[in-house]
Structure 1
Amino acid sequence: MAKRTDLRPVVTLQSTAGTGFRYVTTKNRRTQPDRLVLRKFDPVAREHVDFRETR
């Protein structure tokens, strides 16, 4: 059985609005080798902002 961390690591997405809100998700290393940036809702800022992958 393959390990879960081999191809799809768990990553943390930090809000760029400076609120400190975070999302946790997984990503595919083969299709997304760079750092992930997603536009998601920040409930503290109450608007959609960019969330960037942190290490």
Structure 2
Amino acid sequence: MASKKKGNRIVIRLKSTESGHFYLTEKNRKNDTARLELRRYDPFVRRHVLYKEEK
């Protein structure tokens, strides 16, 4: 069996800045080299807050 080439997409974890909640998502490491910061819904505080990518 031939081994698979390492792809450009990696799984990242977006962690809430206001609680311990997190989302798992993918990003393309070739196109998006900087860390992601998105506003997503946080069910713990029940509103939209900033989520930052953590390693």
Output the TM-score relative to the length of structure 1: 0.85
Sequence identity percentage = 42
| 2:35 corresponds to | 35
Q: Which amino acid aligns with 1:50?
A: L
| Aligned residue pairs, count | 52
Q: CA deviation at 1:2?
A: 3.4
Q: Which amino acid aligns with 1:43?
A: P
| Structure label with greater radius of gyration | 2
When the two chains are superposed, the root-mean-square deviation of aligned CA atoms in Å is 1.1
| 2:15 corresponds to | 14
* Structure 1 stretches of at least 4 aligned residues deviating more than 3 Å after TM superposition: none
Q: Secondary structure at the match of 1:49?
A: strand
Decide which structure has greater strand share.
2
Output the TM-score relative to the length of structure 2: 0.85
CA distance in 2, matches of 1:35, 1:21: 18
Which blocks of at least 5 consecutive residues in structure 2 are unaligned? none
Which blocks of at least 5 consecutive residues in structure 1 are unaligned? none
